[in-house]
Amino acid sequence: MAPELTWGLPVILYLFLAGVGAGAVTVSSSVLLRGGGGGFGGGHFTLARYGALIGPIPVMLGTFLIVFELGRPFRMMNLFKVINLSPMNIGSWVLLLFIFLSLFYALAFLPSFLPRLERLSSRLAPVREALAWINVPLGIGVAIYTGVMLGAMPARPLWNSPILALLFLISALSTGVATIILARTLFHRKAASSDVEHGYHQGTYLLTASDLMLIGFELMVIFLFVMFAHLTIGNVKYAVSIILPGGDMATMFWVWVVLVGLLLPGLAELIYVVPKLLYHRDYAAPKAIEIAVSIAVLIGGFMLRYVIVVAGQVTGPVGL
C-alpha cells in the first residue's frame, strides 16, 4: 500500500511561493541599498521596484494556502499568543513581520508611477531605504524558515538535514532573481535617456550574473545534501536513495530540478555573462532567452520543493 501524503500541493505551493516572495523582496532590497554604487546605474530603482511590488503577493498567497490546508485557521492565532524558541513560533512571527513590512515597502514605491507624485516619491526614499535594511534579514529568515519547518521533524529522515535550510535559502534567492528578471523583461519600456537604458541592461546583467553564481552554489549544496545523507547509515541513507539513480523519484529530481531548473539555465546565462565579464562586451541576451531561463529556474524551484516534500513523506515516518 502506498503511504498517505499528509502534506500535499497546498503545502508545497506555500514553500515555493514563500521562497519566491522572500527572495524577490530580499534581492530588491539589496539592489536598492547598493544603488548606482553597486554597478546597477540608473536602472537600480526600477529593478528594486519590480521585486518590491511582486514580493508580498506570493508570500501572502502561500500563507493563505497553508493556513487553510492545516485546518481550523483561527487556531493558528494561538502561535502569536506566546513567544518561545520553537521553530514554528519563531517562523510565524518572522513571516508575519515580513508580510507587513514588505507591504509597506511596496507601498513606498507606488508614488513613483505618477509624475505628479514625484515629490512624494522623493520624500519616501529614506523610508524605502530603512525598510530595505529590515527586509533583507527578514526575507532571509522567511526563506530559511521554509527549510527549518521541515528539518525540525526528526521522524522524517530526508528532511532532518542541517543542509536543507541552506538549500531552500539559495533556491529562494535564485527564484527571486528570476522573478525580477522575468518581470523586467515582460514589462520594461525603453527609456528616453540612454544612461537610464544602459543602467537597465547593466542591472539585468548583474542580476543574471548573480543568479549564475546562485545556481552554482545550489548545485554544490545539492551535492552536499545528497552526500551527507548517503554517507549516513540507517534511515537517512535509506531516505535519500529515493532520489538517487534507481530510486522512485530519481528521474523527477535529476531531470526537473537539476537539469531543467539548474544546469540548462546556468549554461544559457553563462553564454551571455562570460563575454561581458571577460571581454567587457555589452550584455545583450535576447528577451526570449531571459524569459525561458527565468521560467526554467522557477520550475526547478517548485520541483525541488515538490520532490523534497513528497519524498520525505514516502520514506517516513520512522521510530525515534
What's the grid cell of residue 43? 536602472
Write the CA distances from 155 to 151, 249, 251, 317, 318, integer angstroms.
Answer: 10, 20, 25, 5, 5
pLDDT digits (tens, 9 = 90+) for 17-35: 999 999 999 999 999 998 7
Least confident of 13-17, 59-63, 97-101, 189-193: 189-193
Q: What is the DSSP letter of 41?
A: G
pLDDT over 90 for what percent of the chain?
A: 53
Confidence of residue 191 (pLDDT cuts 50, 70, 90): low
pLDDT at 292 over 80: yes
Please tell me the total count of domains within the chain: 1
pLDDT, tens only, 24-67: 999 999 999 987 555 555 678 888 999 999 999 999 999 988 88
Q: How far apart are CA 152 and CA 162, in angstroms?
A: 10
Query: CA distances (Å), 59 to each of 16, 56, 84, 193, in order?
Result: 9, 5, 23, 35
64 part of a folded domain = yes
Terminal Cα-to-Cα distance of the chain (whole angstroms)? 23
pLDDT of residue 301: 98
Report yes or no on 84 lying in a domain.
yes
Cα angle vertex 150, ends 148, 155, to 5°?
Answer: 125
Report yes or no on 160 lying in a domain.
yes
Nearest 5°: the CA angle 221, 227, 231 is 150
What is residue 281's predicted lDDT score, i.e. its pLDDT? 85
**pLDDT per position as a tens digit, 83-95:** 666 777 788 889 9
DSSP states along 99-146: HHHHHHHHHTTGGGGSGGGHHHHHHTHHHHHHHHHHHHHHHHHHHHHH
pTM over the 0.85 mark: yes
Alpha-carbon separation of residue 133 from 54, 72, 293 (angstroms):
18, 35, 29
What is the crossing angle of helices 44-54 and 164-187, to 10°?
120
The per-residue pLDDT for 76 is 58
**Residue range(s) defining the domain that contains residue 106:** 9-314
Question: How many other β-carbons are positioned within 10 Å of the β-carbon of residue 138?
Answer: 23
- Please report, for the domain that includes residue 280, its CATH number: 1.20.1630.10
Which of 68-77, 144-153, 282-291 has the largest mean confidence?
A: 282-291
Res 320 pLDDT > 50: no
Residue 1 maps to a domain: no
In a domain, 113, yes or no: yes
Looking at the predicted structure, is the pLDDT value of residue 145 above 60?
yes
Q: Which three cell numbers stand for residue 317?
A: 515516518
Q: How far apart are CA 232 and CA 215, in angstroms?
A: 26
